[in-house]
Structure 1
Amino acid sequence: MAELSTEQPRPVRRKFAMPPVKLACLSWYGSRDRVFALLHLEAERLRLPSEQTWRASHPQEGGVCLAARTALEIHNFVDPGAALGQLPELPPDSDFIFDNLFLNPFPDPAFDETPMPQQTFTPVPEVSGPLVRTYRNNHSLLQAYYCWVHTFVPILPAPEISPPLDEPVPISQNHPDGFSSGLDFSSPVALALSAVLALVPCAEDTDPSSSEAVPFRRNCAQFFAQAAIESIEAESEIPGSSTAPEKTLESEPPTVDRLPFHPRVPVELESIIALNLLSVYEYAQRGNLKKMRSRAGQALMEAMMTFNLHNQTDDDDYYAEAKRRVWWMTYMCATQTAIVSCTPPPLELFGVSFTTKYPTLEVDPEAWPTLIETQQSMLSATQFIVDLSEAVSTRADMEPIYRKLVELENGMGPLADRCDAWAVSGPLAPIVDASETCLVRSLRSMARTKVNSARIKVHRYCAFGDYPVFSGKMCDLQSTADMADGPDLILRAPCMCGLSSHSGTSKTGSPDSHHQQQQHTPSSGGTPETIDSMGSSSCTRHGYDARKNAPYTSHFSAKICLRSALNIANDYDNMPYPNPSGQFGQDLCFLSPTSPIVAPRMLPSYVCCAMQGAYVFLSIYRKTSTIVPGTASSGYLVSMLLQLQQGLMSILAAIENYATAFEAIRAMRDQVRKSAESLIMLKP
């Protein structure tokens, strides 16, 4: 078991051991000239005509045409798919990426050891072409982390400088020569952060959504991400393993000999932090669930088996708070991979007793424990969906499934009530200070979103029969294509039992029933309504009644789903925005005072919660829109339709904001928009 130092770090001189042959290319990460040359020639490549052929990194292999590159095999969605737009898989070696980015010889000796003369910063011209966001050094990257990432992924301790200021160095595709000072960092966490932040459009970019700007940011981000992985491998490599492997087992594991990225975070934990960031990057940007699980699983194994972060008891440790945050955010990432892919977690992470305390948040001590509890409820609800799907597909006995449903609702109901009692206040774009007040709104909103999403998961079968509304697979939601392939493939009852209550309310319903549905939230502690014989028999097909003895009516479950979806929409409205300006009292922050683009929220690992809410709104809208408005019910009908549209617009706006930076999320945005336009005629 590796031991982490507990004393305050001392600045040490970097000692360069001989790297292994495979990783020899890492020596240039600290070279400013080569990184800028990379970005310069990437800009030149993007200006080549589309028919220009690509040259491989090895001349003997011949040229590879662009059409062949676009036909590279793409990883399939994990079934059930996340409906994330997947990007073409790039080679795993950054040397190969580098060689293919640079198609032309360098006009000057960009890689020699002669330092370039320092020049003053040249302002970006008004029309400068596509830009990518970069940062000069560890200090500016750390400030950018607190401006953009910390509110959503608080994996580092509270900031020591407040307010943090975002100071990016935009690299232009058309004018890269105006920047002479390079990027002076090579640690895994710095490179991983660079990958994430490179996706945020630059305020100076006049057309950040153009066909040139998006690939430029994408390729630069992927370069940083791959460099981070290689840096992780390099720091765990033993130099002698390539030259004298018979002696390496006798030697001690290597220690990382460099200055820390954060003064209160051990250098040894930086690889775990980087892997967690890259896990969400693979999901939100590249739509690669397989690599998302791989990165999170590697981080979890390192945290538990190498550093024993799950059983930390020394509160006097100088790094105690850092260890707590790294562990619990690693836990969140590992469980989130299981949730979005509907697979078991890498290890038994639910019901296991961990001794490591929750991170410190003095302004709201209950925020962290509640967030972890709601994440566990999501994990349980996802496992319930898997078991339910298997039971329906095999026509098994549903009694154990329904007992589990009641057990889950009895636990989630009080948890949801506890989260609903929170009062959210303060600006929507708070600054990140030492007290971390900004985390209160964020953690509370995330916790409420998760528990309400979990309730939708366990109730939507009774409420809507899991009838599909999206054309593509959305998280654990079925698609309309599955319904076209065959009814047995759909996780749903053979018919839609609607929103009628067990008392025999007609299909159109009465004003009183509609009013009750809108105003009354089902009590978690109340006696559940049982499905009536007419409802269960109407859902019988070929002698198999999947909903027989269901503990709740569709009316009761639909009311829970509706209230949960409305809470999710409200929580996304209250979710804080980044504040790169560092100004107090901001309710909405743009990329710059002159930019029309709202600052995107970062690392949306739980965007599937938004899809659960959108599914409920669309399902109830379909049912409600079939009601013929009468004299007495028209007011309730209009109120319900407006409420559904407003909730759907809130969710769509949240996904749109995420999609500003992350390309894979755009597939979800398009699915929601397409379904909304076809059902509600909702125009952008």
Structure 2
Amino acid sequence: MVDAFHNESGLVSTALRPIRKKFAKPPVKVACLPCRASRTRCGGQEPCSNCLNKGRKCSYLPSKRGGPRTKKQRPSPSPEEDAAPQDSSQFAAISAEFEEPSGMFTQIDVLSLPGAGLRHLDFPQQVSSLFQGFYAGDADAAHVPLELMPSPLTGAQCYVRTYGSEPEILNAYYDFIHCYFPILPPRVAPQCRDRPLQCPLACSDPSSEPLMMYKPQSPLSLAISAVLALIPHPNDPDSSSSASLVQRRTYANAFAQLANTAIETECDLDISSTDPGQALSTPRPSVNRERLHPQTPEDLETLLALLILSVYEYSQRGNLLKMRYRAGQALALALDKSLHDYVEEDEFCEARRRAWWMTYYCVIQGAIVSTTPPTLVINDPQFTTPYPRFASDVEGWSILIQAQQVLVSATQFIADLNKTLASQSGLHYMFERMQQLDSWTNSVLAQTEILPITSHEPDFGDCRETITAQCIRTMSRIKLSSAQIKTHRFRAFSDIPIFVKRHCDLTAANATNTAHVLTPKSSGTGINSVSCPCSNLDQFRRASSAEYMTPSDSSTSSDIHPYIPQYPQYPFATGFPYSTQHSAKICLRAAILISHLFESLPYPQPLPETHQQPRQHGSVLPRTMPSFACCLMQSSYAMFMIFYKARVANQVSPDVETEIVSDSIDRLVEELRQGLQRIIGAVSNYSLAFEALDGMRDEIQGAYQTAFPPNPAI
């Protein structure tokens, strides 16, 4: 696989040329760098014919290719040599000599941007072009093109997942949503068969109002119906067709709009239109309808509906602004109801605790995915409401909230590091924060690996929510691994020439002064575009100094992976508490773990009706509520960057290609390929229901096909 990157074997396409014997003309022993990067055969001259015809610089580096491989290993550098500053002119020269193949780095770098890959269904294509590059800060950043709504087939028949009663909607909520997004207490009734309405619908104009056989009664059941409508119907003969897709989208949007209308109606005070002066002192009117869940008061249903709509706006509409707005509305209602300091023990205490902490979760999640400041202080001492409880995992909720705090703090660290590089001051403080954040992340990760503590409460079947508790712990590990990537990614890839060239100004280097840093470009991508002045890590507990351990002090740091290539270091990087090798290994381990964890999340398992068509062999239902899909992008970004790191190493440092190192790189590349396939599988499953995630899937697949072409040259 590694040899395929260089294409020095002399293979030439025979299309439109006379067929001649393979290797009739032996390949040259040393090919120029541009020919290696473009995978074309080099003539070996200086300049070669390819470079001469294309008018580009032709340069060579010594290579061991073309002759017998040597068995000796490179001696490992001493700590002093590893820490010694390198000549910036040498670093810049390497960057200039390496030619980026087919815009590969541009495909990878865009994966780290806020909202990377999300399709925006709320904006027509001509309007969205006005905002291109607005969030990234780079006009030429790669974005997935927005697609216009496909036209349904006239007269076609399709099915949409709708339900005929409130109990059936609630049962479907537990089948499809609850284990990923537990806003309600556990079931109080046994699981029933999934009974979506079996009425085929004639596909009509998407702008017309859809026909509803049953209209849900509460804002919460309407919001739940908006998500359920996106899941393919079990009797739909072709759920991937354009007609079926448009119908599901139309019904989901109609349910969401009805939910918003119901929310506004229940939040309005009639007296405000006749006597505004008395409106604030008048108690809110009571809600006159039956509870959707017997242990959840009616006045919480409006708040819970906003939480579901917040995730809907993100995963289906791709609208980060509305995602944060809905979560902000829920926060205002929660504070108005004093859910943040609710300590009473009554029949509704579990419902109120879940309502508060899921509101907290959604507000923080909106800040994470959009890299904007959260609208609350994440460790506010006024938040005294106890955590909810899983009978099968007493610490599950606590770990989830801690993971959310770690991840938003890691996002803040990226923003502050960017500001520090720009101001060329305060690096020592940032290095200390990096150690604190790394220690904090490892501490919470260790909690997730401890066997759950089980409550001694009696088991009432589904009341233990064992699967939901397992999902919450898995989601926590995904978030913590994503925080590790954010904490270490700049250091991990700061030795890649093009990475530094894209993120820093090479001309501002001072090779004789390691205390100075590079001045970032004013309009770069990746790290420079991330800006999230969220909460300060100092507001949380600090790890003891004994926990701060550099890679040279750790006995296990070299066991993460056998080999990851390294390059000359830029002077500003020598002050980091971790080496690039150590940070790259952490990013690799975290990215691979995220790919496994997403794959381990369970699929919905409803009880089907006997007359429903069985699903085809190998087909699965989509998982729902992917509010943390940004972790998929972080994982793919880290894996592609490590792959890119290995690829660049083979082109600019051919002297490392001993048999041992070559085999190690081959194993690394294969591990990355499998990890990326798992990520593509996870995001593809989500995109069966949520259209905004189509863009994420396409972004990752595009970069994957560039890195691993179907028929690579051998």
Structures share a fold, TM > 0.5? yes
Q: Against the structure 1 CA distance between its residues 240 and 553, is the aligned structure 2 distance closer, same or farther, given a 3 Å change threshold?
A: same
- Distance in 2 between residues matched to 1:592 and 1:554, nearest whole Å: 51
* 2:627 corresponds to which of 602, 605, 619: 605
Please name the residue that 1:574 is paired with.
600
Please name the residue that 1:593 is paired with.
615
Please name the residue that 1:518 is paired with.
561
**Paired-residue identity, %:** 36
- Distance in 2 between residues matched to 1:492 and 1:175, nearest whole Å: 45
Is the Cα contact below 8 Å between 1:280 and 1:605 reproduced in 2? yes
Please name the residue that 1:327 is paired with.
356
Deviation larger for 247-256 or 363-372: 247-256
Q: Against the structure 1 CA distance between its residues 396 and 668, is the aligned structure 2 distance closer, same or farther, given a 3 Å change threshold?
A: farther
Q: Against the structure 1 CA distance between its residues 241 and 88, is the aligned structure 2 distance closer, same or farther, given a 3 Å change threshold?
A: farther
* 1:553 corresponds to which of 571, 574, 579: 579
SS in 2 for 1:169: coil
Deviation larger for 167-176 or 600-609: 167-176
Question: What amino acid sits opposite 2:628 in the alignment?
Answer: Y
- Distance in 2 between residues matched to 1:144 and 1:672, nearest whole Å: 31
2:284 equivalent to 1:253: yes
* 1:191 corresponds to which of 222, 225, 245: 222
Is the Cα contact below 8 Å between 2:551 and 2:557 reproduced in 1? no
Question: What amino acid sits opposite 2:561 in the alignment?
Answer: Q
Please name the residue that 1:400 is paired with.
429
Q: Against the structure 1 CA distance between its residues 83 and 205, is the aligned structure 2 distance closer, same or farther, given a 3 Å change threshold?
A: farther
Question: What amino acid sits opposite 2:437 in the alignment?
Answer: L
Cα distance, 1:637 vs structure 2? 2.5
2:406 equivalent to 1:384: no
- Distance in 1 between residues matched to 2:314 and 2:142, nearest whole Å: 11
Question: What amino acid sits opposite 2:189 in the alignment?
Answer: I
Cα distance, 1:673 vs structure 2? 0.6
2:698 equivalent to 1:667: no
Please name the residue that 1:117 is paired with.
none
Is the Cα contact below 8 Å between 1:162 and 1:434 reproduced in 2? no
Is the Cα contact below 8 Å between 1:129 and 1:206 reproduced in 2? no
2:524 equivalent to 1:489: yes
| Structure 2: tracts of 5 or more residues without a match | 1-122, 205-209, 454-459, 505-519, 529-549
Q: Against the structure 1 CA distance between its residues 378 and 180, is the aligned structure 2 distance closer, same or farther, given a 3 Å change threshold?
A: closer
Is the Cα contact below 8 Å between 1:285 and 1:663 reproduced in 2? yes
Is the Cα contact below 8 Å between 1:166 and 1:581 reproduced in 2? yes
Please name the residue that 2:444 is paired with.
415
- Distance in 1 between residues matched to 2:558 and 2:551, nearest whole Å: 17
Cα distance, 1:210 vs structure 2? 2.2
Cα distance, 1:250 vs structure 2? 6.7
Question: What amino acid sits opposite 1:290 in the alignment?
Answer: L
CA deviation digits over 1:421-459, x for unaligned, max 9? 5599xxxxxx99221111132011101101111011000
Cα distance, 1:651 vs structure 2? 1.0
Q: Against the structure 1 CA distance between its residues 183 and 502, is the aligned structure 2 distance closer, same or farther, given a 3 Å change threshold?
A: closer
Is the Cα contact below 8 Å between 2:175 and 2:605 reproduced in 1? yes
Two-structure CA RMSD over aligned residues (Å):
4.0
CA deviation digits over 1:549-602, x for unaligned, max 9? 11111001111111111211111121111112379xxxxxx9943476411110
Question: What amino acid sits opposite 1:79 in the alignment?
Answer: Y
Is the Cα contact below 8 Å between 2:220 and 2:305 reproduced in 1? yes
- Distance in 1 between residues matched to 2:628 and 2:479, nearest whole Å: 8
- Distance in 2 between residues matched to 1:680 and 1:423, nearest whole Å: 40
Is the Cα contact below 8 Å between 1:152 and 1:602 reproduced in 2? yes
Cα distance, 1:312 vs structure 2? 1.2
* 2:186 corresponds to which of 138, 158, 166: 158
- Distance in 2 between residues matched to 1:636 and 1:466, nearest whole Å: 20
Please name the residue that 1:144 is paired with.
172
Question: What amino acid sits opposite 2:577 in the alignment?
Answer: P
Deviation larger for 232-241 or 597-606: 232-241
Please name the residue that 2:339 is paired with.
309
Please name the residue that 1:565 is paired with.
591
Please name the residue that 2:101 is paired with.
none
* 1:210 corresponds to which of 215, 219, 241: 241
Is the Cα contact below 8 Å between 1:467 and 1:492 reproduced in 2? no
Question: What amino acid sits opposite 1:489 in the alignment?
Answer: G
- Distance in 1 between residues matched to 2:415 and 2:184, nearest whole Å: 34
CA deviation digits over 1:576-635, x for unaligned, max 9? 11112379xxxxxx9943476411110100011111111111111122244465333343
Q: Against the structure 1 CA distance between its residues 245 and 309, is the aligned structure 2 distance closer, same or farther, given a 3 Å change threshold?
A: closer
SS in 1 for 2:160: strand
CA deviation digits over 1:259-288, x for unaligned, max 9? 111111010010110000000000011111
2:466 equivalent to 1:449: no
SS in 2 for 1:408: helix
- Distance in 1 between residues matched to 2:267 and 2:237, nearest whole Å: 42
* 1:616 corresponds to which of 638, 642, 650: 638
Is the Cα contact below 8 Å between 1:186 and 1:231 reproduced in 2? no
Tell which has more relative contact order, 1 or 2 (C-alpha 8 A, sep 6+). Answer: 2
Cα distance, 1:220 vs structure 2? 1.5
| Structure 1: tracts of 5 or more residues without a match | 1-67, 91-100, 102-126, 425-430, 479-484, 494-500, 504-512, 522-531, 584-589
Is the Cα contact below 8 Å between 2:195 and 2:608 reproduced in 1? no
- Distance in 2 between residues matched to 1:432 and 1:396, nearest whole Å: 58
Is the Cα contact below 8 Å between 1:282 and 1:289 reproduced in 2? yes
Is the Cα contact below 8 Å between 1:84 and 1:665 reproduced in 2? no
Q: Against the structure 1 CA distance between its residues 438 and 466, is the aligned structure 2 distance closer, same or farther, given a 3 Å change threshold?
A: farther
Is the Cα contact below 8 Å between 1:610 and 1:651 reproduced in 2? yes
Q: Which has the larger radius of gyration?
A: 2
Please name the residue that 1:284 is paired with.
315
Is the Cα contact below 8 Å between 1:134 and 1:171 reproduced in 2? no
SS in 2 for 1:144: helix
Q: Against the structure 1 CA distance between its residues 468 and 574, is the aligned structure 2 distance closer, same or farther, given a 3 Å change threshold?
A: farther
- Distance in 2 between residues matched to 1:352 and 1:518, nearest whole Å: 42
Q: Against the structure 1 CA distance between its residues 678 and 486, is the aligned structure 2 distance closer, same or farther, given a 3 Å change threshold?
A: farther
TM-score by length of 2: 0.66
- Distance in 1 between residues matched to 2:601 and 2:425, nearest whole Å: 41
- Distance in 2 between residues matched to 1:175 and 1:561, nearest whole Å: 47
- Distance in 2 between residues matched to 1:89 and 1:212, nearest whole Å: 14
2:316 equivalent to 1:273: no
Question: What amino acid sits opposite 1:294 in the alignment?
Answer: Y
Q: Against the structure 1 CA distance between its residues 80 and 346, is the aligned structure 2 distance closer, same or farther, given a 3 Å change threshold?
A: farther
Q: Against the structure 1 CA distance between its residues 502 and 329, is the aligned structure 2 distance closer, same or farther, given a 3 Å change threshold?
A: closer
- Distance in 2 between residues matched to 1:233 and 1:89, nearest whole Å: 30
* 2:135 corresponds to which of 68, 79, 92: 79
Is the Cα contact below 8 Å between 2:341 and 2:382 reproduced in 1? no
Q: Against the structure 1 CA distance between its residues 466 and 208, is the aligned structure 2 distance closer, same or farther, given a 3 Å change threshold?
A: farther
- Distance in 2 between residues matched to 1:180 and 1:220, nearest whole Å: 9
Cα distance, 1:490 vs structure 2? 4.3
Q: Against the structure 1 CA distance between its residues 469 and 186, is the aligned structure 2 distance closer, same or farther, given a 3 Å change threshold?
A: farther
- Distance in 2 between residues matched to 1:193 and 1:210, nearest whole Å: 24
Deviation larger for 454-463 or 403-412: 403-412
TM-score by length of 1: 0.69
Question: What amino acid sits opposite 1:648 in the alignment?
Answer: L
SS in 1 for 2:240: coil
Cα distance, 1:641 vs structure 2? 1.5
Q: Against the structure 1 CA distance between its residues 657 and 214, is the aligned structure 2 distance closer, same or farther, given a 3 Å change threshold?
A: same
Is the Cα contact below 8 Å between 1:80 and 1:342 reproduced in 2? no
Question: What amino acid sits opposite 2:476 in the alignment?
Answer: A
Cα distance, 1:382 vs structure 2? 0.9
Q: How does 1:356-375 map to 2 (within 5 A)?
A: 356-375=385-404
Q: Against the structure 1 CA distance between its residues 174 and 519, is the aligned structure 2 distance closer, same or farther, given a 3 Å change threshold?
A: same
Q: How does 1:20-59 map to 2 (within 5 A)?
A: none
